[in-house]
Amino acid sequence: MHAPVVPDRSIDAYASVTERDRLERLRSLAEALSDVQILHVSSTATGGGVAELLRSIVPVCNDLGIDTDWLVMDADDDFFEVTKAVHNGLQGNGEPLTDEMKATYREETARNAAEIEDEYDLVVAHDPQPLGMLERLEERLPDAPIVWRCHVDLSDPVDEYRAFLSAYADRIDHGIFSRSAYAAAIDVPKTSIVYPSIDPVTEKNRSLDEEELATERDRLDPLSFDAPVVTQVSRFDPWKDQFGTLEAYRSAQRNVPELQLALAGGMAGDDPEGLRLYEQVADEAVDDPDVHVLADLPDTTVNALQRLSDVVVQKSLREGFGLVVSEALWKRTPVVGSTVGGIPLQIEDGRNGYLVEPDDAAAASDRIVTLLEDDECRTQFGVNAREHVRKRFLLPRQLVDLLEIFVEILEYDN
Ligand code: UDP
């Protein structure tokens, strides 16, 4: 296990985007947790939504006076092949889970758990990767309640993987899910629903001035913002359906011939499937100079891309929440997204973007064209989008929700 370096954060930085009551509530919850040590465990420090969330939650909690550590599992690709299969199986598409895969999972999680030495009052395990550590953690920290924070879309898991999950249910005191529809997949004593959030002060989401935008435009060349641009920012992962987005773009291009598509993606450290899919997507797009497949962009460039694009698309087939949707909406860019996972929580159909069925590339194409052909509509949707995210999906709101749960768990426990 290792502790990733996280940026400094001050809660004061959120005063301009958050109601004063909310910040006061946060401070009083933090006061109640001032003598508590909390450990977050996850499987990667970079790439994907969980890393994005923890890079903000952990330093802000420390700034608020809550002693919070974050440890990331160390494992090789064999382990991450298994956990990616678990992730896929829980989202409804599983290869068989063999005894060998289970053994790899048990060995690696036990080895990681054995490396935790400090004392903690509460442990928060994120997603399925660390679940195998819980038995050992229970023995080591018998008084520390265990929270499982699940970010995965559990609406329709494959039975074999549901059973895999259930084997750990006894060790979990409290499950936190991103939507109520996910909580039924595992029987734990207590569940809560907490919507994730984006952090408005990070490099990814802060405002950029004209000079910074000009620099990023140059960096993104030959993608040109003098012609319409549709963008999807996602890990290269079959659930993100980059091929469906390509299909929607090709169809939209018949109405908007100068249209360009940017498919920006990263490889998460715990996702060995990423490189394979990146190559397939790049291959599919190789003959079209208007399709730009961009890998591992710096955060400032992702920020500019989401900001400068005319429309952002998120054509996922499954999606735990989909932080990228709020990231784009926060930057006043309308989003066309599918009706899966957390996307409908973020897109208000006809107000800040459009919702389409996940397998309906033609509908996505129609909505993209509608938006591209109506500048006024895009501007109004952008205004609505910013306010929707400001009210519901910024970090301080999520922190209040989480800390309320932590206080409740620890009070109940004492
Ligand atoms: N991301 C990024 N660069 C990329 C692709 C993704 O920085 O090339 C970030 C994206 O901005 C977002 C996170 O990774 O913050 C993805 O989170 P989301 O919840 O959308 O999906 P997940 O990857 O967790 O399934």
Which pLDDT does position 266 carry in this prediction?
Answer: 82
Torsional sign, CA 27, 29, 34, 38: negative
pLDDT band at 208 (very low <50, low <70, confident <90, very high): very high
Q: Which atom of ligand 1 lies nearest, measured to the CA of 265?
A: 8
Span 344-372, average pLDDT: 98
pLDDT at residue number 273: 81
Give the pLDDT confidence of 44-91 residue by residue, as tens digits.
Answer: 998 889 999 999 999 999 999 999 999 999 999 999 999 999 999 999
Predicted local distance difference test score (pLDDT) of residue 47: 81
* Whether pLDDT at 222 is above 90: yes
Residue 234 Cα to ligand 1 middle (Å)? 5
- 309-328 average pLDDT score: 97
3-state SS assignment for residue 305: helix
What does CATH list as the number for 11-197+394-413? Answer: 3.40.50.2000
Q: Is 359 helix (H, G, I), strand (E, B) or coil?
A: coil
Atom of ligand 1 nearest to the CA of 47: 14
Q: Which of 42, 50, 52 to mutate to test the pocket of ligand 1 (most atoms within 8 A of CB)?
A: 52
Residue 233 CB less than 6 A away from ligand 1: yes
* pLDDT for residue 94: 81
CA of 36 to the centre of ligand 1 (A): 31
- Whose Cα sits closest to atom 8 in ligand 1? 265
What H or E segment, with its residue span, contains residue 16?
Answer: none
Element (DSSP H or E) covering residue 147: strand 146-149
pLDDT for the residue 412: 66
Ligand 1 pocket, residue 264 CB under 6 Å: yes
Buried b (16+ CB within 10 A) or exposed e, 271-298: bbbbeebbeebbeebeeeebbbbbeebe
Q: Residue 198 in 3-state DSSP?
A: strand
Q: What is the mean pLDDT of the chain?
A: 96
**pLDDT of 267 above 80:** no
State the Cα–Cα distance between residues 60 and 54, nearest whole angstrom. Answer: 10
Average pLDDT over residues 189-215: 97
Nearest atom (ligand 1) to Cα of 266: 8
Burial 173-199 (b: 16+ CB within 10 A, else e): bbbbbbbeebbebbebeebbebbbbbb
| CA nearest ligand 1 atom 9, residue | 48
Residue 270 has pLDDT above 80, yes or no: no
Structure tokens at 27: 């401070």
Q: Which atom of ligand 1 is nearest to the CA of 342?
A: 19
Residue 337 beta carbon below 6 angstroms from any ligand 1 atom: no
Give the separation between CA 315 and CA 309, rounded to whole angstroms.
16
87 ligand 1 Cβ < 6 A: no
| Chain segment 104-128, per-residue pLDDT in tens | 999 999 999 999 999 999 999 999 9
Instruction: Return the domain boundaries, the chain.
Output: 11-197+394-413, 210-392
Q: How far is the CA of 237 from the centre of ligand 1 (A)?
A: 11
* More confident: 413 or 402: 402
Fold: same for 11-197+394-413 and 210-392: yes
Two structure tokens written together for 211 = 């000079």
57-71, 87-101, 207-221: which has the minimum mean pLDDT?
Answer: 87-101
Cα(364)–Cα(374) distance, rounded to whole angstroms? 16
In the reported structure, the alpha carbon of residue 264 is separated from the centroid of ligand 1 by a whole-number distance in angstroms of: 10
Give 10's pLDDT tier (boundaries 50, 70, 90). very high
Distance of CA 316 to the CA centre of its chain: 13
SS3 per residue for 207-235: CCCHHHHHHHHHHHCCCCCCCCEEEEECC
Q: What is the pLDDT of residues 126-147, one digit of tens each?
A: 999 999 999 999 999 999 999 9
Residue nearest ligand 1's atom 3 by CA: 266
CATH number of 210-392: 3.40.50.2000
Q: And the tokens for 53?
A: 């969330």
Model-level pTM? 0.95
Evaluate if residue 169 carries a pLDDT over 70: yes
Does residue 173's CB lie within 6 angstroms of at least one atom of ligand 1? no
265 lines ligand 1 (CB under 6 A): yes
Q: What is the 124 CA–ligand 1 centroid distance (Å)? A: 21
Query: Cβ atoms within 10 A of the Cβ of 406, count?
Result: 22
**Mean pLDDT confidence for 271-275:** 83
User: Which residues have C-beta within 8 Å of that of residue 35, sequence separation ≥ 6?
Assistant: none
